[in-house]
C-alpha cells in the first residue's frame, strides 16, 4: 500500500484530445505542477498568479471568489495553518474545446498530517493567452469526498507491523498487516499465559463509507465476536463503540480508546464501561509496544 505522491501532479496523457499540441499539453502539465508546489509550499500568491486577472474560483459550498486578489486572500486563509494538508492532482481528462480553450476534469487528493486522505473532484477551464501560455479562467470544486477506502485506511498505516502487550499475567503478540482480500487492515493476536494454553483472536479494520468512519470486526478463538464503530477524538486518537456476543451468548458492550504515542512507537489501548452478560467488568489500560523487526539469520560458508 503506497501513499499518493505529494509533490507531483499526475496527468493521464491518454485522456487528452486527439490532435492536441504537445507543447500545450506540456504547458498545462507545468501549470498543474506549479499549483501543487505552491499549495504545498503555502504560496497563495503563486496560486493566484495561475488565474487570469478576473478568474473565478467556485467553492464546494457554492461561494464564488472572483479576481486574483480575492483568490490570493482565499488561499492565504487556507494555507496559513502549518498543519495544512499536502496536495496532489490527478487530471482525468482534458478536452480542447477550441484552440484557446481547454476543459479539465480531475481529482485533488489532500493528505492530512496524520495520513488521512480526502479526495474531491474539480473542473477547470484553461484559457490560452496571446503569448502562448495558459491561465485558469475558472475552477469549480465539487463537494463530496471521493477517496477510496484504501486511501482512507492510510490514516491507520502506522498500525501495520508487530506489537506486544505485557501484563503481570500474560503476553499478547499482535501483528497488523494489509489484507490480501481487499481494502482492509487485518490483525492477529496470540495471548500466552504461564498456566494455560495460548489463545488467539483476529480483527479486521475497514472504512464505512455510509458513516464516513472506520469500522472493525473482532473474533475470538472460542466463537465470540464484536464489532466497533470508530470516531476520531483528536490527532492520533480514536474512540471505539464496541458491541458483540460472547461464545456463551452473553451481550458484550464496551468503550475503547486507542491513542497513538509520538511517531507510533507505541499506543495506549484502554477499555472502559465494559458489561458482559449484565456484569460490569473492570476498566483496563494497556500499553502496546512496537516490536523491532526480527533479525535475519545469515550464514557464511567456509571452504
Q: Give the domain ranges of the chain.
A: 9-147, 152-290
Determine the Cα–Cα distance for residues 69 and 180; give it in Å rounded to an integer. Answer: 49
Strand partners, 183: none
- Cell numbers for 264: 507510533
Helices H, strands E: what count in the chain? 4, 18
pLDDT in tens, 94-112: 888 888 999 998 888 888 8
pLDDT-above-70 percentage for the chain: 88
What pLDDT score does 63 carry? Answer: 87
**Lowest mean pLDDT, pick from 2-6, 24-28, 113-117, 244-248:** 2-6
Give the architecture-level CATH label for domain 152-290.
Answer: Beta Barrel (2.40)
How does pLDDT run across 146-157, given as a tens digit for each residue? Answer: 667 777 888 898
Helix, strand or coil, per DSSP, at residue 8? coil
Write down the pLDDT at residue 111. Answer: 87
pLDDT higher for 10 or 72?
72
| Cell 502539465 belongs to residue | 29
CATH for the stretch 9-147:
3.10.450.50
pLDDT of residue 6: 34
- Which residue has 516490536 as its cell numbers? 291
Model pTM score: 0.59
Contacts of 168 (CB under 8 A, 6+ apart): none
Q: Which long-range contacts (CB under 8 A, 24 or more apart) does 126-129 make?
A: 126/28, 126/31, 126/94, 126/101, 126/102, 127/52, 127/100, 127/101, 128/24, 128/99, 128/100, 128/101, 128/102, 129/52
Amino acid at each position: 500500500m503506497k501513499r499518493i505522491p505529494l509533490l507531483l501532479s499526475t496527468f493521464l496523457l491518454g485522456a487528452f484530445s486527439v490532435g492536441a499540441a504537445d507543447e500545450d499539453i506540456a504547458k498545462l502539465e507545468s501549470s498543474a505542477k506549479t499549483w501543487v508546489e505552491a499549495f504545498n509550499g503555502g504560496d497563495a500568491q503563486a496560486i493566484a498568479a495561475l488565474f487570469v486577472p478576473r478568474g473565478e474560483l467556485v467553492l464546494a459550498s457554492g461561494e464564488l471568489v472572483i479576481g486574483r486578489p480575492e483568490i490570493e486572500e482565499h488561499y492565504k486563509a487556507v494555507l496559513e495553518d502549518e498543519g495544512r494538508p499536502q496536495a496532489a492532482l490527478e487530471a482525468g481528462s482534458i478536452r480542447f474545446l477550441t484552440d484557446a480553450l481547454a476543459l479539465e476534469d480531475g481529482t485533488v487528493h489532500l493528505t492530512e498530517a496524520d495520513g488521512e486522505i480526502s479526495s474531491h473532484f474539480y473542473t477547470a477551464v484553461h484559457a490560452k493567452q496571446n503569448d502562448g501560455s495558459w491561465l485558469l479562467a475558472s475552477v469549480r470544486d465539487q463537494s463530496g469526498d471521493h477517496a477510496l477506502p484504501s486511501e482512507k485506511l492510510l490514516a491507520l498505516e502506522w498500525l501495520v507491523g508487530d506489537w506486544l502487550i505485557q501484563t503481570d499475567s500474560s503476553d499478547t503478540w499482535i501483528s497488523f498487516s494489509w489484507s490480501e482480500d481487499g481494502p482492509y487492515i487485518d490483525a492477529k493476536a496470540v495471548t500466552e499465559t504461564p498456566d494455560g494454553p495460548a489463545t488467539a483472536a483476529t480483527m479486521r479494520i475497514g472504512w464505512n463509507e455510509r458513516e464516513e468512519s472506520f469500522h472493525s470486526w473482532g473474533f475470538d478463538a472460542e466463537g465470540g465476536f464484536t464489532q466497533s464503530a470508530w470516531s476520531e477524538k483528536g490527532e492520533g486518537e480514536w474512540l471505539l463503540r464496541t458491541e458483540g456476543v460472547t461464545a456463551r451468548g452473553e451481550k458484550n458492550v464496551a468503550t475503547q480508546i486507542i491513542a497513538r504515542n509520538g511517531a507510533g512507537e507505541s499506543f495506549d489501548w484502554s477499555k472502559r464501561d465494559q458489561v458482559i452478560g449484565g456484569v460490569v467488568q473492570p476498566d483496563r489500560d494497556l500499553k502496546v509496544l512496537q516490536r523491532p523487526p526480527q533479525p535475519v539469520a545469515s550464514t557464511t560458508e567456509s571452504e
